Amino acid sequence: MKLKAALLVTSDRVSRGEAEDESGEAARELLAPVAEVVEKRVVPDEAEAIRRVLMEWSDAGLDVVLTIGGTGLSPRDVTAEVTRSVIEKEAGGIRTALLVRGLQSTPRAMLSGATAGVRGRTLIVNLPGSRSAVREYVELLVEVLPHAAEMMRGETHE
């Protein structure tokens, strides 16, 4: 059974139609072996818009929500802070694994404030907006997402 996933692109430029969303489409393709992306939305870098979608999707019981963008140091980057405000349990190992993977490609990965955690039975993971970073991180995530979903559902595991 494939997981149910959603993609939330947080970008002022993409939301205004000034840029194309290549990263979200890359994530959709890479998730295909383990998850069906049942919804994708683009919102501006605004805390309330991001919070509303994260709450809606986790309340709907999706297995995984990937946010794309808004994880850096600029004043408009608020995705990680909003995510921390809605999750109930942090997934620090995921955050660390993504950071380590990113640092293998570029020292700029340390500038990301991305986080990961669980709300209800939904895993929420922040990804940067870079297409190359999304590709690297989703390739890593697909290895653990099915087991993470089993754990969140309380299924027994070894």
Can you read off the two tokens belonging to residue 10? 């947080």
Number of structural domains in the chain: 1
In a domain, 128, yes or no: yes
In a domain, 50, yes or no: yes
Lowest mean pLDDT among 17-26, 32-41, 102-111: 17-26
In a domain, 143, yes or no: yes
Rounded to whole angstroms, the Cα distance separating 153 from 121 reads 6
Rounded to whole angstroms, the Cα distance separating 86 from 48 reads 11
Can you read off the two tokens belonging to residue 63? 């297995």
Rounded to whole angstroms, the Cα distance separating 3 from 41 reads 18
3-state secondary structure of 2: coil
In a domain, 157, yes or no: no
Q: Check if the beta carbon of residue 70 is closer than 8 Å to that of residue 125.
A: no
Split at pLDDT 50, 70, 90, the class of 158 is low
Could you report the per-residue pLDDT of 135-151, keeping only the tens digit for each? 999 999 999 999 999 99
Tell me what pLDDT residue 75 has: 93
Residue 155 pLDDT > 90, yes or no?
A: no
Tell me what pLDDT residue 28 has: 96
Could you report the per-residue pLDDT of 116-133, keeping only the tens digit for each? 999 999 999 999 999 999
Tell me what pLDDT residue 123 has: 98
In a domain, 158, yes or no: no
Q: What does the DSSP assignment read for 75-118?
A: TT--HHHHHHHH-SEE-HHHHHHHHHHHHHH-GGGGG----EEE
In a domain, 97, yes or no: yes
Rounded to whole angstroms, the Cα distance separating 23 from 151 reads 28
Can you read off the two tokens belonging to residue 123? 């895993």
Q: Check if the beta carbon of residue 98 is closer than 8 Å to that of residue 136.
A: no
Return the number of other C-beta atoms located less than 10 Å from residue 118's C-beta.
17
Could you report the per-residue pLDDT of 46-90, keeping only the tens digit for each? 999 999 999 999 999 999 999 999 999 999 999 999 999 999 999
CATH number of the domain bearing residue 22 = 3.40.980.10
Can you read off the two tokens belonging to residue 104? 């293998």
| Domain, as residue range, for 100 | 3-152
